[in-house]
Amino acid sequence: MAEQGVGKWAFLIGVLLALIAGIGTGIGAGFADNMWITALLVIAGLVVGFVNITVKETQAFLVASIAVMVASTSNLAELFPGFEVVGAILAGVVAKLIIVVAPAALLVALRAVYGFAAE
């Protein structure tokens, strides 16, 4: 049960940090590209992948992860003509969220592949 609490906090901290760093990236703040922020986002994603996602949630989580990653391929910066800063902030937030989601998705996908191989 304590692991679920750690995973929940890792997810919340990762998303909050991704939002703050993404907004910073969108407005051009230098802190947003700090190596330590990126490391914290990756660690949060790894904790989420190890602790939070159960076998039952694997498919839904991987589909949601793909959706977040596909969203990053769209040209979010030009989504709001006349309000380029809003688009830049949105693109920055999605880019930072991917840093949290990708490690978690990789762990969950590897666990699923291992489950198939073990059967």
CA 94, chain centre distance (Å) = 8
Model pLDDT, residue 103: 95
Q: What's the number of domains the chain is made of?
A: 1
Q: Which amino acid is at 18?
A: A
Model pLDDT, residue 25: 86
Picking from 81, 79, 107, 108, the residue whose alpha carbon sits closest to that of residue 94 is 79
Structure tokens at 25: 């990236």
Q: How many C-beta neighbours within 10 Å does residue 78 have? A: 11
Q: Which domain holds residue 69?
A: 2-118
Q: At what angle do helices 58-71 and 84-118 cross, to 10 degrees?
A: 150
Per-residue pLDDT reduced to its tens digit, 13-51: 999 999 999 999 888 877 777 899 999 999 999 999 989
Alpha helices in the chain (DSSP H): 2-27, 35-47, 58-71, 84-118
Task: Over range 57-85, report the average pLDDT.
Answer: 83
User: Rounded to whole angstroms, what are the CA distances from 31 to 10, 21, 84?
Assistant: 21, 8, 21
pTM of the model: 0.84
Model pLDDT, residue 53: 87
Per-residue pLDDT reduced to its tens digit, 75-108: 766 767 777 788 888 888 999 999 999 999 999 9
